[in-house]
Amino acid sequence: MSIAPAKVAVLASGRGSNLAALLDACARGELPVEFVLVGSDKAAAGALRLAEVADIPTLALDPHGYPDRRAFDLDLLARIAASGAELLVLAGFMRVIDGEALRPWEGRIINIHPSLLPKYRGLHTHRRALEAGDREHGASVHFVTAELDGGPVVAQARLTIEPGDDEQRLAERLLPLEHRLLPATLALLVNRRLQWQAGAVLCDGRTLSAPLSLGEHGLE
């Protein structure tokens, strides 16, 4: 008997290279997922075009059409629920989601952020790592809460900052790691190996005391 693939929705505001990495991992058979919806707050987002090409239903919702942020977030997440999605991935979705809208999704939403959280929540993470003189930079996948980039971190990818790195080069060098990190973390969630329960992150039934780390052969 085969198990039905998990139904997953993705939200993205930009070009969608992380979405593309998820689609590729799925096509390679590494991610047992059915993508039921790709949504965006930007009608021009490249992620929506990628979804159309892949025959995935899309949703573009303009926040300006709502009285406030909460109204937008409640409608957005209600539409995602109506798509049948069980899990939601934020892949470059550039908005903080309201806590009330998030509540039914606790433990079912992950986000990828281009820093070694808890360092550098928010924007301009590459620039801030360089300005601080950090020797190491990276990306994190975390469960989403109402606090910007503040939910429990489950997995990270690290890279050494090199003398020739500027903001753009660092971002370019990090991106391929993001593209491995996000599908690998989602696969753990989909396979029910990763859970966030009663305030603790569990992986394979054990409390995760530190984020998993992306190595040569995947998450360790």
18 binds ligand GRF, rule: CB under 6 A:
yes
Please indicate whether residue 142 is annotated as part of the active site. Answer: no
Phi-psi map region of 56: left, alpha, beta (phi>0 left; psi -120 to 50 alpha) = beta
10 binds ligand GRF (CB under 6 A): no
Contact status: 126 vs ligand GRF (CB under 6 A): no
CA 35/CA 60 separation, integer angstroms = 16
Among 7, 14, 95, 203, indicate the residue that binds ligand GRF (CB under 6 A).
14
Instruction: Pick the closer one to ligand GRF by CB: 81 or 171.
Output: 171
Q: Nearer to ligand GRF by C-beta: 85 or 112?
A: 112
How far lies 64's CA from each of 72, 98, 109, in Å?
9, 16, 24
Is residue 91 at the binding interface for ligand GRF, with CB under 6 A as the rule?
yes
CA distances from 145 to 134, 149, 159, 172, 180 (A): 27, 8, 26, 28, 23
Nearest distance from C-beta of residue 154 to ligand GRF, angstroms: 15
- Cβ atoms of 82 and 112 within 8 Å: the answer is no
For residue 84, what are the contacts with CB-CB under 8 A and spacing of at least 6? 7, 36
Contact status: 17 vs ligand GRF (CB under 6 A): yes
Nearer to ligand GRF, 92 or 151 (CB): 92
Minimum gap (Å) between residue 75 Cβ and ligand GRF: 22
Contact between 178 and ligand GRF by CB under 6 A: the answer reads yes
Report the alpha-carbon angle 97-98-99, nearest 5. 115
CB 156 within 8 A of CB 140: yes
For ligand GRF, the closer CB: 12 or 212: 12
Applying CB under 6 A, the residues found at the interface with ligand GRF are 12, 14-18, 91-92, 112-114, 139, 178
Active-site residue numbers? Answer: 113
